[in-house]
A and B are shown apart, each in its own frame.
Chain A
Amino acid sequence: MSAGATDLPVLLPYRAPAPIAPSGLAAPVLLGGGTFAAFAILFGASLALAQVTARPAGEGATTVLLRWAPLIFQGFLFNILISFLSMALGTLIGVLVGIAQVSLVAPLRKTAWGLTQFFRNAPWLVLLFYAMFLLPFEFRVFGLTIAFPAWVKAIIGLALPVAANVSEIVRGGVRSIPSGQWESAEALAFTRRQTMWMIILPQAFKRMIPPWMNLYAILTMATTLISVVGIQDGLTITRAALVAESRPELMIPMYTLLLLMFFAYCYPIARATMALERRFNVKA
């Protein structure tokens, strides 16, 4: 029987759609603009709807929104701050663990591998709870009490999965360098450490940048998880505003406003990641 000659229901293989614009920038930009416009239209429509359906014809929906917008934006900025700090901490730890993953010392390599796998395959929210409830709220060092506020614990909680992912990015980047580089460095009597820092990592670095940026965008969106553990971030403030106004019809415009902020921040990062990937691919 020739292929495709059946009237039975079959599951066709998935074919990845052709890239939208393999060379030009125009189409993805339009696409991004389109997505943004779609959000804006949703936002406008929901706002108009809220305006007309307000039961006791009280304050206009736009007025309410404008009143809360600066506060929501402040909360959003706090999310960004958390994302910066978690990323910095996670990258610092992740690079070290990633390098340990390609170490010649078996116990070190295996420990690093185990840690990476454990934190990479754990739900972020669970890790966050872990950090929130297992870390003390203050440290005592030589009679000195150092407070350990919730937001610091949240940064640590988010940094754990980030570190594990960075560790994998580093390992993958190092592994992607051809073995001939190691061989010729060894033949020139470079030590393993010199080879790693002077020859392998500088080359692997640019291959690590796009996935690292991608991870950052994911982390930024995941920072809203901290609202679950009671930290005043953009999402918490939005929810509080809705509670304060107790106007259910404002729910969609308010959340959309927050979504727009995240989109406006994360989409350019995604675009830049794609552009970098393309550039590095060509240059390889």
Chain B
Amino acid sequence: MTTLADVAYKVRSKNAGPFWVTIDIFCGDRSAFEQIRNALTVARLATVLRQPAEAIRCFEIPELNVIKYSLPRPCVQGSRFDRDMHGAQLAVLVAELDING
């Protein structure tokens, strides 16, 4: 299996304020950018994160070979059932996806 992390240069996720989380995929080059944008649709990300696809904003930045996703935090930062104060582990879910899946 080839994971998204095998193809991308770096994947990170972080809070964007207490109510949003943002996932940045640094693809590294144009071929990885094209491969990842074809493999990781908003619908697929919505399934992985168990969030409605309409809630996810996608930004493609070809000049940087970056694909960025932002969504309202499934759990508000630091609220009772939040498991990850900084939202940094969502990146791992994305990084481990099968790029051919």
Q: Do A and B come from one complex?
A: no
